[in-house]
Amino acid sequence: MRPAPVATKDTAVGQVLAKFAAGDPSLFELIAEDIDFRIDHFHDEADTSWQHANTRDALMSLVGRLGEEVFPKGTHALGIDCFMLGEGWYLTCFNQQFFYGIRQEDVTSLTYIISHEDNGKLDYFRENVTNIVYAE
């Protein structure tokens, strides 16, 4: 089986990421109450142990903290590319540019997200931050 490209707007994960980048709080309408959410980082010494949630309310708090500490100036989506894996599973490549509050620098970052959705609601989300590239 080969992952098939799918329009971002046709996936819950794509819509959530687009709304996140736009600062649109209606993104939580696309989140299942029992979301299984975690962000992992590859080779980043920042403390990310708090970047997980298992309810929509917990995720709302987490996103608030992300906004304060990581994205104090928001983020700009450079690309959101979704691939259908089958049976509600998606692989998403999320490329973004933002002012990284923890390091106080402008950066770009590429992340890979494995997600699952059911009835138009995101119920599983694993983001792997693969790199953070600092502006020169």
* 24-46 confidence digits (pLDDT tens): 999 999 999 999 999 998 876 77
Task: Please give the share of the chain, as a percent, with pLDDT higher than 70.
Answer: 98
Residue 82 has pLDDT above 90, yes or no: yes
Residue 53 has pLDDT above 70, yes or no: yes
| Structure confidence at residue 136 (pLDDT) | 67
Per domain, the residue ranges of the chain are 4-134
Task: Please give the share of the chain, as a percent, with pLDDT higher than 90.
Answer: 82
Burial of residue 21, with CB atoms counted within 10 A of its CB: 0-12 exposed, 13-18 middle, 19 or more buried: buried
pLDDT band at residue 71 under the 50/70/90 scheme: very high
Contact 113, 11 (CB under 8 A): no
Buried b vs exposed e over 40-53: b needs ≥16 C-beta within 10 Å?
ebeeeeeeeeebbb
The mean pLDDT of 130-136, rounded to a whole number, is 82
The mean pLDDT of 82-100, rounded to a whole number, is 97
Residue 135 has pLDDT above 90, yes or no: no
**In angstroms, rounded to a whole number, what is the distance separating the alpha carbons of residues 20 and 60?**
12
Calculate the CA dihedral of residues 9, 13, 17, 20 and round it to 10 degrees. Answer: 110
pLDDT band at residue 123 under the 50/70/90 scheme: very high
Range 4-134 has CATH code 3.10.450.50: yes
